[in-house]
Chains A and B, each alone.
Chain A
Amino acid sequence: MVKKKNKKTIRLISRTALLLILAAIIVYAITSKDKVKVLAEGDKAPDFELVDLEGNAHRLSDYKGQGVFLNFWGTWCPPCKKEMPYMEDLYKDFEAKGVHILTVNVGEPKVKVELFRDDMNLTFPMLWDKNKTVMDLYNIKPLPTTFLINPEGKITRVIKQGMTKQQIVDYLESIQPK
């Protein structure tokens, strides 16, 4: 009798286990949607190397131990244009505090970017993503998109819209090394 009872329990457990696994798989199949892994807050910011308009190479890893405010933009995008003067005002102060503003143009003609810069009197380094490599690396869809990267190299926030000057100040302060 003991043996039979055992057998019955084993059967119950194995059947329950199999059914639960199958149910879990079905639930997973229904809920899983996004196949593409998108960079999210908390992820390590992938390193890259881009040249600015003057031809100087910048690597993200050059700024290890410091905060990086990584802004992707295009000349035709009005909110991008709007926040440029704010960044211009703030970038020098914050560079001293260990936070760097890096702007990345998403592969427009170089002359177009230069005209834009001269027009707006911008002096901070503008990186030029000729082949859109870094844009794809960071899965940029809407512009402007800004990544806040803390001194440990982690993404602390992804902002997918334009910002006010005060917001930029707050964001810059949030990634300032302590």
Chain B
Amino acid sequence: MSKITCQCGHENPYGTELCEQCGRPLSEKAKESDIVDMRYEGSSRRSQTYKSSIVDKIWNFFSSVKIGVGIIAAVLIASAIGTVFPQKFYVPASTDAEYAEYYERLYGVVGKIYYQLGFYDMYNSWWFKVLIGMLATSIIIASIDRVVPLYKSLKKQRTRRHPSFMKRQRIYGEGTIENTAESFAKAEEELKKMHYNVKTENGAILAEKHRFSRWGPYVNHTGLIIFFVGVLLRGIPGFYVDEAMWIREGETRNIVGAPGYVLENKGFTLENYTKEEAEEVFGAALDKVGSIVKTYRTDVTLYKEKEGSLPGSDNLEKVEDYAIVVNKPLKFNGYNVFQMDYKLDELKTMTFHLVEKSSEESLGEFTVDLSNPEKKYDLGKGASVNMLGFYPDYDGIKDGEPYSKSPVPNNPAFIFQMNTPEKPEGEKSFVAIRQTLEVEQNDYAIKFAAAETRNISGLTIRKDKTLYILLLGGLVFMIGVIQGMYWQHRRIWIQEGADGQVLIAAHTNKNWFSLRKELDKLRESTALPAYKDRQDPELDKPEQEGDEEIWT
């Protein structure tokens, strides 16, 4: 695998199609072609040349654009299949059996197959991750493989090219002009006006502009890789926190996932649009839909453990009051707390009367705060009620005792001892919703009077240290695509041949019409031979006679 020495004397790496310096076609393919393939400047792409070991074969596999597009297509199809039915995380189920049942019940046999093939958790499946990994690998290897040789050959290019290179360009023209030297000087001046970088070398001009746009693809690929790195880092503990918590109105609770911080819920508000405030503008819509929610809001106070105190101690200091609404999370120390969900109307307090059964006369009333009940309620005039038992989520009698199945006050029940001047030793009564049990016949009873409820806010806590990496990736990607897509790398070669003929050739990596427009503008002011776009057979008038400008 030796170097190829071109007739001009330049040593090119093995596999080079066009001489890096003068552009002479070197390979058989290039020599035979009518218009040379100018991608990567005909430079030697390593992957295409060495095919010895397995490593090289794998490398070449990932370096291929064809494979790259294939991987993109695979990701695309897999993603699309994943949207056919709802994904696992949108399904109200928790066990495998429940998932299977859900898909089969709603979507029949197709749903069952969808579940069995694992499509219901497409984006977390190992093979979807492998595909993304292959995509990243392909991006990295394909870029490395191309950017280096491209850079080298653009750097080494010479101003004067060999006629065989010129003749094989898509835009090419030749002819004689009267005063070559003068025309060349004029051309140089005009090209500079069009913001070209002009180089001259004894009777040859190379005008080049926006070469940087050639680096666009590699810049945007770098952006993508940065993005992938960010996504990967989320797997490392500490980089990423994603927790959810429920907090009742009036409750003060440690913030899950944010050690050292405590949150107090001072109230949850659900507000609908009202006809009065919405006036005539939204009236029609409100009539049609009924009610539309305006706000979900949780008013909170954030506390922080004081410096040096231990978790669990009540040694807190207030940080701030804040109203968390959708789109306006509470932010502190890298954490975001979002308003995500709510539950309305959980029992908060219950008010009872102590009544004498015979006269139905009340001896007074007392209110039990279900989140903080008291041991004794003094009703005055010698009457009081003692709390002997409290069962927030009463679920029948178990082992001879009332049983609460959870700490949530869904169905509160109590054992009260009623102390009255008549019965100072007290009477016991079991009180639940719509139910009262007495061990012996009592003279007094506890009667339910009223209840108050409260709401619960569902909050999500996030911390994502990778966000800035992801954002950087996005930014670099944007710079890359804009650089590569909003500018074009254009080159115009003008040179005097050995026989006094003037050759003109031009190349752009895209948007040939715009290049032709510039060439036409150049030819308006400068005597230069006419050219031909050899890939536009429809231009029936290849010789654009001066004023024949078709684009204006």
B259 touches A137 (CB 8 A): yes
Question: A26-B130, A30-B130, A75-B407 in contact; A50/B254 too (CB < 8 A)?
Answer: no
* A12:B390 contact, CB within 8 angstroms: no
Complex-state Cα separation, A132 to B253, whole angstroms: 6
Q: Does A166 contact B (CB under 8 A)?
A: no
Q: Does B405 contact A (CB under 8 A)?
A: yes
Q: Does A41 contact B (CB under 8 A)?
A: no
Residues on A with C-beta less than 8 A from B141 are: 18
Question: Which of A19, A112, A131 is B253 in contact with, Cβ under 8 Å?
Answer: A131
Contact A76 B405 (CB under 8 A): yes
Chain A interface size range: 35 or more
A49 B311 Cβ-Cβ under 8 A = yes
B451 → chain A, closest Cβ, in Å? 17
Cβ contact of A35, chosen from B59, B232, B240, cutoff 8 A: B240
Residues 9-48 of B, flagged 1 when their CB comes within 8 A of A and 0 if not, give 0000000000000000000000000000000000000100
The answer to whether A111 touches B140 (Cβ under 8 A) is: no
Scoring B residues 168 to 209 as 1 if CB is less than 8 Å from chain A, else 0, what string do you get? 000000000000000000000000000000000000000000
Q: Which of B378-423 contact A (CB under 8 A)?
A: 387-390, 392-393, 404-407
Report yes or no: A48 in contact with B312, Cβ–Cβ below 8 A. Answer: yes
Q: Decide yes or no whether B505 CB sits under 8 A from chain A.
A: no
Interface stretch among B77-85, B101-109, B367-375? B367-375
Contact with B along A80-115 (1 / 0, CB 8 A): 000000000000000000000000000111111011
> Which of B56, B232, B375, B407 touches A29 (beta carbons < 8 Å)?
B232
Instruction: Given A22-B137, A48-B310, answer yes or no on A76-B253 (Cβ-Cβ < 8 Å).
Output: no
A70 to B500 alpha-carbon distance, docked (Å):
98
List, in ascending order, chain B residues with CB within 8 A of A59's CB: 310
Residue of B nearest to A27 (CB): B133
- Nearest chain A residue, comparing its CB with the CB of B370: A109
Contact A133 B235 (CB under 8 A): no
B443 located at the interface, meaning its Cβ lies under 8 Å from any Cβ of chain A in the complex: no
Given contacts A16-B55, A110-B372, contact A36 B235 (CB under 8 A): no
Flag A1-44 by CB within 8 Å of B: 1 or 0 each: 00010001001100110110010011011101011110000000
The reply on B224 being an interface residue by CB < 8 A is no
Does B136 reach chain A (CB closer than 8 Å)?
yes
Collect the chain A residues with CB atoms within 8 Å of residue B312's CB. Answer: 48-50, 129, 131, 133-134, 137
How far is it, in angstroms, between the C-alpha of A8 and the C-alpha of B14 when the chains are bound? 13
Q: Does A54 contact B (CB under 8 A)?
A: no
Q: Please tell me if the beta carbons of B136 and A22 are within 8 angstroms of each other in the complex.
A: yes
Residues of A within 8 A of B257 (CB): 36, 136
Which residues of B in the span 291-326 have a Cβ within 8 Å of any Cβ on A? 309-314
The residue in B132, B234, B314 that gathers the most chain A C-beta atoms within 10 A of its C-beta is B314
Task: Check if A22 sits within 8 Å of B140, measured CB to CB.
Answer: yes
The answer to whether A76 and B50 touch across the interface, beta carbons within 8 angstroms, is no
In whole angstroms, how far apart are the Cα atoms of A35 and B239 in the complex? 9
A50 contact from B56, B236, B313, Cβ within 8 A: B313
What string of 1s and 0s marks CB contacts (under 8 Å) between A133-176 and chain B?
A: 11111000000000000000000000000000000000000000
* A29 and B309 in contact, given A75-B404, A111-B374, A131-B254 (Cβ under 8 angstroms): no
Complex: A4 Cα to B130 Cα, angstroms = 36
Q: How far is the CB of A27 from chain B (nearest CB, A)?
A: 9
B459 in the interface, Cβ–Cβ < 8 Å? no
Chain B residues, CB < 8 A from A130: 252, 314
**Complex contact A112–B129 (CB within 8 A):** no
Q: Check if B94 is an interface residue, CB within 8 A of chain A.
A: no
Contact A115 B387 (CB under 8 A): yes
User: In the complex the two chains form, is B313's CB within 8 Å of A28's CB?
Assistant: no
A19 contacts B58, CB within 8 Å? Answer: yes
Q: Which residue of B has the minimal Cβ distance to A74?
A: B407
A135 to B254, CA, bound (A): 9
- Contact residue among B232, B237, B252 (Cβ-Cβ distance under 8 Å from A36): B237
Which residues in A have their C-beta under 8 angstroms from that of B238?
A: 37
CB distance A131 to B373 under 8 Å?
Answer: no
Inter-subunit contact B235/A29 (CB<8 Å): yes
How far, in angstroms, from A79 to B353 measured CA to CA in the complex?
36
Which listed residue, A34, A74, A133, touches B262 by the CB 8 Å rule? A133
Q: Which of A37, A115, A129 contacts B390 (CB 8 A)?
A: A115
A35 touches B235 (CB 8 A): yes
A46 at interface by CB-CB < 8 Å: yes
State A148–B332 Cα separation when bound (angstroms).
34
Out of A32, A119, A137, name the residue touching B311 (CB < 8 Å).
Answer: A137
Q: Say how far B441's CB is from chain A's closest CB, in angstroms.
A: 25
Is B373 touching A109 in the complex (CB atoms < 8 A)? yes
A136 touches B254 (CB 8 A): yes
Interface residues in B261-312 by Cβ distance below 8 A to A read 262, 309-312
CB pair B393–A76 under 8 Å, yes or no, is yes
Which of chain A's residues has its CB closest to B387's CB? Answer: A111
Query: Cβ of A50: which chain B residues have Cβ within 8 Å of it?
Result: 312-313
Q: Does B519 contact A (CB under 8 A)?
A: no
Q: Complex Cα distance A35/B55, Å?
A: 34
Contacts of A12 in B (CB 8 A): 53, 55-56
Q: Which residue of chain B has its CB nearest to the CB of A13?
A: B55
Residue contact A76 to B235, C-beta cutoff 8 Å: no
Q: Is the CB–CB distance between A76 and B404 below 8 Å?
A: yes
- A51 → chain B closest CB, angstroms: 8
* CB pair A35 B254 closer than 8 Å: no
Partner of A132, one of B254, B389, B390: B254
Chain A contacts for B506, CB-based, 8 A: none
Residue of B nearest to A35 (CB): B240
* Cα(A18)–Cα(B141), bound, Å: 9
Pairs A–B under 8 Å by Cβ, sample size 29: A15-B56, A19-B59, A25-B133, A25-B232, A26-B133, A26-B137, A29-B132, A29-B235, A35-B237, A35-B240, A35-B242, A36-B243, A47-B310, A48-B311, A48-B312, A49-B310, A50-B313, A57-B313, A76-B392, A76-B405, A110-B372, A111-B373, A111-B390, A112-B392, A115-B387, A131-B252, A133-B262, A133-B311, A136-B257
Other contacts beyond A76-B392, A76-B406: 11, CB < 8 A: A16-B55, A22-B136, A22-B140, A25-B232, A37-B237, A48-B312, A50-B313, A111-B374, A112-B390, A131-B253, A137-B312
